[in-house]
Structure 1
């Protein structure tokens, strides 16, 4: 019986993409890192091509990273991949699941439907309503609908003048279609990333921020540490990720003085936090899971 051929949709040269391809190649002897920028859908010949490789002939495709920056164009890339999915290729995660998380509002509504505790959040196109919300929240963060790693987010505090807040809102609206406003919570300098593979809990790591940034992302100088959650917190993470059908994800959780809240569930999730914070090779765990699932097909 021939070994399965699994391609990795990702960013060539990026560690998380390459390490996943490494783990798959070690078990199957096949390696394909696919840059969506170079993919062509050929409807006349019914192929989804990447450098001479027809992706519809593969046994599976793992969407590790579909683009460097989220945008409406990312959803177009998912539509291309759905062609391979419809042709019988297993997608990890399924395109409809990833699509629900590319847009922050869609992801938030799924969590709300699942009754997952989140920071107070309001969404509107209206500047005056946005201004009233910021003032009512005291301290708030404007979050673009399409962004990762806190890119494009703006923090407004109760110390900011009315004029400053209005100007910030006006400038923000020039770049964004809608105001997504979330009340800040006391992170105590950290938040958590809870890792799940195939819906099963793997580990939890903490992202610890530095004093120069309001967020804890590694891009802003944060670092990873291990964290041991209790059963109740793991169940919250499990319930949050169950709002979607994801093969691999991290659930972002904050511990606040009013109890834990979920910021978001990642469409893809990273490997470095699990490795550096927990000592777990999540890429290997994920590769093992995918190969077992493909073998069942």
Structure 2
């Protein structure tokens, strides 16, 4: 017997008070009458019982959980939080997207290797712990972006140019290494002033928006002053994005792609996917569409 929508209990793991988390919880509440925003930092997992609780609510008794955000910033700690949700999943709760797939994406290394293995075009990239090899990569690429393995919205990223002295480059590389303990070096490409976020739900393409740089920053993120706009990517780019996201079994995601002089390249597949770009750039309420998708998945599984 299919459980009525009004009896479904769907929780949201996110940041209480943040727009994307609350708008998703609003849509769930509008459909089901149930609201549960879960701050993962305050979850208690008792593996012996077994119970996983938050504010008196046993998460193992929910029908589903949608992971909107796991942390304000990415760090290895995020992996441990996802492991707790993987345990909740083992109790029979449907989790969107699957924690094991998100784990593959929050670490930039894992995402990049998966895309490279699938032969998805990306900027030239060197990954190493050797500072001499890192210096050689900067010289070879001319201008690079150093990227932390755990970061969002370009936080912690640093641009280095080969036009400066070896001593200056070595100093900047050493300072980066002292913080991050690893070099992820990507050639800085000339972009047309914007990049694209292609939206996918259940593996199906929904549309694309552009992030347009404000002219004062090398990156296009909204965090750095960029703005959203509608964009119509070519079939080639849509196919590239489709192939990229297909490497991961995600319920909802956005794929970041930019057009360059060498052709389109993929920067990353998002672990969570945003709603703001689709709303402001395309006029799409993807939070509502996502909730409808999850409810349909739950009913089909009954």
TM bucket (normalised to shorter chain) is over 0.9
Selected match of 2:149 from 145, 148, 162: 145
Matched position secondary structure for 1:188? coil
Find the aligned partners of 2:295 and 2:117 in 1 and give their Cα distance: 32
Identify the match of residue 238 of structure 2 among 222, 234, 237.
Answer: 234
- Distance in structure 2 (CA, Å) of the matches to 1:158 and 1:254: 23
CA offsets per residue over residues 90-114 of structure 1, 9 Å max, x none? 1100011000001000000110111
Aligned-pair Cα RMSD in Å: 0.9
Alignment-derived partner of residue 200 in structure 1: 204
- Alignment-derived partner of residue 164 in structure 2: 160
Aligned-pair CA distance for 1:45: 2.2
Deviation at 1:160, TM superposition (A): 2.5
Name 1:17's counterpart in structure 2: 21
The CA distance in 1 between the partners of 2:164 and 2:25, in whole Å, is 47
- Residue of structure 2 in register with 1:47 after alignment: 51
Task: Give 2:221's match in structure 1, choosing from 217, 220, 223.
Answer: 217
User: Which whole-Å CA distance do the structure 2 matches of 1:253 and 1:229 have between them?
Assistant: 10
Q: How does 1:45-124 map to 2 (within 5 A)?
A: 45-124=49-128
Provide the secondary structure at the position in 1 that maps to 2:35: coil
Unpaired runs of at least 5, structure 2: none
The secondary structure found in structure 1 opposite 2:155 is coil
Across the two proteins, how many residue pairs are aligned to each other? 297
SS class of match (1:264): strand
Give the distance between the partners of 1:96 and 1:160, measured in 2 at CA.
42
Q: What residue number does 1:244 align with?
A: 248
Indicate conservation of the 8 Å contact 2:162/2:169, yes or no.
no
Partner secondary structure for residue 190 of structure 2: coil
- In structure 1, how many angstroms separate the alpha carbons of the residues matched to 2:217 and 2:169? 20
1:52-96 Cα distance to aligned partner (Å, 9 max, x none): 000000010011001111111100001111111101111100011
Deviation at 1:185, TM superposition (A): 1.1
5+ long unaligned stretches in structure 1: none
